[in-house]
Amino acid sequence: MPYVNIKITREGATPEQKAELISGVTRLLQDVLGKNPQTTVVVIDEIDTDNWGIGGESVTVRRKRGQ
């Protein structure tokens, strides 16, 4: 019954990679806490780099500097 929300920048994650995140985190919750995988919900949010900030500036600006 857990609910997991994963937020990443929108930079080309493929459906296969997102499927791996879903299966991996569902298995982790089963292994560590015995949670039923059938009712584990995972939601992935992909966020534009203009809308994600760290260190006081957007990821867009950081990427331009090569970070």
Residue 20 touching a copy of itself (CB under 8 A)? yes
Residue 51 touching a copy of itself (CB under 8 A)? yes
Check 2, 22, 42, 61 and give the catalytic one.
Answer: 2
Tell me the C-alpha distance between 47 and 37, whole Å: 26
Indicate the SS3 state at residue 36. Answer: coil
Site for a copy of itself (CB under 8 A): which residue of 27, 63, 65, 66? 27
Exposure class string for 13-48: b at 16+ Cβ within 10 A, else e: eeeeeeeeebeebbeebeeeeebeeeebebeeeeee
Residue 10 touching a copy of itself (CB under 8 A)? no
Q: What residue ranges bind a copy of itself (CB under 8 A)?
A: 1-9, 13, 15, 17-29, 31-33, 35, 37-47, 50-61
| Enzyme catalytic residues | 2
